[in-house]
């Protein structure tokens, strides 16, 4: 099991970041997500928006990784649940893969909140638990996936200077 985390500060208010986050797919800057289906969306009694989505993704796994895992499958599905709390200005998003779960699991949590000292910027805390199961070199694959997640997080932070609504 590999635990990975990062934090990023967006130079935009929470409301702007959340609007962009809710509309970020499909996104030509992230072609790995090839489809998004909203399964359910509702407001609870406290005014929080709950969304359940199914994401279709295309993992660009190198041939060596597919060989180690013993699969040629690259299309995967991810279930995602998010809660947007406009009163507390908090959005929490949790996702997990539902394909290849016998080989690998990636449980991810994102938390968006206004910066405690500057409400005009937004802090994103991102965490993931990566587990490769039943194959040799599992720790190597977990570390490789964590590095890939770090690289993707850096790419997203490099886009900060472009207005968020244009990104997503």
Strand partners, 9: 123
- Tens of pLDDT, residue by residue over 61-81, are 777 777 877 888 888 999 999
- Tens of pLDDT, residue by residue over 39-54, are 999 999 999 999 999 9
Domain that holds residue 129: 2-167
- Tens of pLDDT, residue by residue over 79-94, are 999 999 999 999 999 9
| Number of domains forming the structure of the chain | 1
Q: Give me the CATH number covering residue 113.
A: 3.30.530.20
pLDDT band at 157 (very low <50, low <70, confident <90, very high): low
Do the Cβ atoms of 4 and 148 come closer than 8 Å?
Answer: no
**What percentage of the chain exceeds 90 in pLDDT?**
51
């Amino acid at each position: 099991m590999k635990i990975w985390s990062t934090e990023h500060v967006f130079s935009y208010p929470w409301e702007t970041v959340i609007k962009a986050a809710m509309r970020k797919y499909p996104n030509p800057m992230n072609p790995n997500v090839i489809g998004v289906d909203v399964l359910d969306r509702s407001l609870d009694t406290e005014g929080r928006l709950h969304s359940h989505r199914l994401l279709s993704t295309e993992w660009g796994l190198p041939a060596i990784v597919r060989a180690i895992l013993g699969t040629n499958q690259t299309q995967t599905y991810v279930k995602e649940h998010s809660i947007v709390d406009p009163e507390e200005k908090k959005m929490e998003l949790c996702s997990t893969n539902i394909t290849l779960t016998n080989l690998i699991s990636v449980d991810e949590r994102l938390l968006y909140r206004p910066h405690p000292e500057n409400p005009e910027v937004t802090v994103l805390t991102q965490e993931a638990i990566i587990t490769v199961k039943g194959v040799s070199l599992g720790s190597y694959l977990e570390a490789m996936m964590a590095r890939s997640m770090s690289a993707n997080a850096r790419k997203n932070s490099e886009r900060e200077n472009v207005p968020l609504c244009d990104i997503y």
